[in-house]
Amino acid sequence: MNFPKEHEIYKRRMSRNLGVGLVLAAFIAIVFGLTIAKINNGGQVQGLDHSGGTVTEANQ
Amino acid sequence: MSDVTINTQAQEGEASFGDYFALLKPRVMSLVVFTALVGLLVAPVGVHPMVAFSSILFIAVGGGASGALNMWWDADIDRKMKRTKSRPIPSGKVEESEALGLGLTLSVFAVVMLGLASNLLAAGLLAFTIFFYVVIYTMWLKRITPQNIVIGGAAGAFPPMIGWAVATGGIGIESVLMFMITFMWTPPHFWALALFTKSDYGDAKVPMLTVTHGRKSTRVHILVYTFILAAVCLATGVTSIGGPFYMTVAVVLNAMFIKGAFKIWRRDDAAAEADNYLEERKFFKLSLLFLFVHFGALMGEAALAPFGLGGW
């Protein structure tokens, strides 16, 4: 269906696209911030698939 | 209205970002954010600000997701009630399947992200909250028992427990009591609302206490729950998160709340009709303040601690 260019539907699409874009950008920023916070706090930085033994051996 | 008109509207009714956001029940989400934040801040263990911020955000997203799933399931009754007619699905802005998709996706996203940001207990509690609200309350019990409000209140009461779990990784008497405050507060809050919006729930065939047990019984229920709520609020005051400041606030507010409940209990519907449910409306307004101030006082108590003033 064709709508005239100034139809409200384009405004709604624009708001949706912009909203999703901002949410994705915010999500990236949060994951980055969380990563920095966890590393600085000395938290677990290796995945759950790494056992303690493996870490020690790797350090040796 | 012809079918052709409906179809045209459906095609034209592309939702804006705001319509999808409205699916997440932003007002309920603000309560979730506030109570979860209090649960996190009053806990005896400090949390990195970034972890705290992210965790509260993911708890809010989880709460919002359950709101979207609730709107998906309840679209039929939302169309019948004046209060809910303008929600995104009944107003035709968002399709039911979209609400379902958004709700499920955000539920999984919120639980996984909370688990990664904080700990598995907090994530598990959030998952249980969503399950409880959507499956136990919305799908199962809301339409078959007049105690629906009590059960639904439990789902809304979990956020401070989740906030506490984010900080401590566990469950304590304090977090259980914070849960109990919202749990016991919800029934008198909603039953007061049901007393002055009587026709809505009846039309939607939702078994509200006012319809199934009568309005006199509802007035008795409000009074009884208000007394239990007072006991819970005062009990919270003698735990490690309480103190003189919180206790003073709790005593004053609960005295006002009991007085309001007593007035509601004492009068009948004829008297209420005469002044357009003035006492019920006043009680409802006070109930909004009640929860906010109680959790605010708990936060105040925690904020006073660094100055040697908070706690007992």
- What pLDDT digit, counting tens, does each position of B29-48 carry? 999 999 999 999 999 999 99
DSSP secondary structure letters along B48-65: -HHHHHHHHHHHHHHHHH
What pLDDT, in 10s, does the model give residues B124-154? Answer: 999 999 999 999 999 999 999 988 889 989 9
At B45 the three-state DSSP class reads coil
Give the CA distances from residue B31 to residues B37, B65, B178, B267, B288, in Å, rounded to whole numbers and listed in that order.
Answer: 10, 15, 13, 31, 10
> What are the φ and ψ backbone dihedral angles of B86, each rounded to 5 degrees?
-90, 5
Please answer yes or no on whether B20 and A38 come within 8 Å at the CB atom.
no
Please answer yes or no on whether A36 and B50 come within 8 Å at the CB atom.
yes
What's residue B215's pLDDT? 87
Residues 6+ apart with CB under 8 A from B83: B197, B200
**Closest-CA distance of chain B to residue A12, Å:** 4
Q: Answer whether residue A54 shows pLDDT above 50.
A: no
What distance lies between CA B139 and its chain's CA centroid? 17
Residues of chain A contacting residue B50, judged by C-beta atoms under 8 Å apart = 33-34, 36-37
**Closest-CA distance of chain A to residue B15, Å:** 6
Whether the CB of B15 is below 8 Å from some CB of chain A: the reply is: yes
Please answer yes or no on whether B50 and A11 come within 8 Å at the CB atom.
no
Q: Answer whether residue B298 shows pLDDT above 50.
A: yes
- Give me the interface pTM, i.e. the ipTM: 0.79
**Closest-CA distance of chain A to residue B148, Å:** 35
What's residue B1's pLDDT? 41
Name which residue leads in pLDDT, B70 or A55: B70
Q: Mean pLDDT in chain B? A: 92
What chain B residue is nearest to A48 in terms of C-alpha separation?
B116
For B17, which of A16, A38, A40 is closest by C-beta distance? A16
Whether the CB of A13 is below 8 Å from some CB of chain B: the reply is: yes
Whether the CB of B48 is below 8 Å from some CB of chain A: the reply is: yes
Please answer yes or no on whether A36 and B18 come within 8 Å at the CB atom.
no
**Closest-CA distance of chain B to residue A45, Å:** 11
**Which of B4, B9, B14, B106 to mutate to probe the A interface, most A CBs <10 Å?**
B14
Please answer yes or no on whether A30 and B15 come within 8 Å at the CB atom.
no
Residues of chain A contacting residue B11, judged by C-beta atoms under 8 Å apart = 1
Which residue in B293, B70, B47 sits closest to B166, CA to CA? B47
What pLDDT, in 10s, does the model give residues B174-220? Answer: 999 999 999 999 999 999 998 988 666 777 778 888 878 988 999 99
Please answer yes or no on whether B18 and A20 come within 8 Å at the CB atom.
no
Please answer yes or no on whether B20 and A16 come within 8 Å at the CB atom.
yes
Q: How many CB pairs under 8 A join A and B?
A: 39
**Which of A8, A12, A23, A31 to mutate to probe the B interface, most B CBs <10 Å?**
A12
Which residue in B158, B177, B179 sits closest to B60, CA to CA? B158
Query: Rounded to two decimals, what is the model's pTM?
Result: 0.87
Q: How many CA atoms lie within 13 A of A53 on its CB side?
A: 0
Q: Give the C-alpha separation, B124 to B138, whole Å.
A: 20
Residues of chain B contacting residue A9, judged by C-beta atoms under 8 Å apart = 12, 14
Q: Answer whether residue A60 shows pLDDT above 60.
A: no
Q: What is the mean pLDDT of residues B17-24?
A: 94
Whether the CB of B12 is below 8 Å from some CB of chain A: the reply is: yes
Q: Give the C-alpha separation, B242 to B300, whole Å.
A: 10
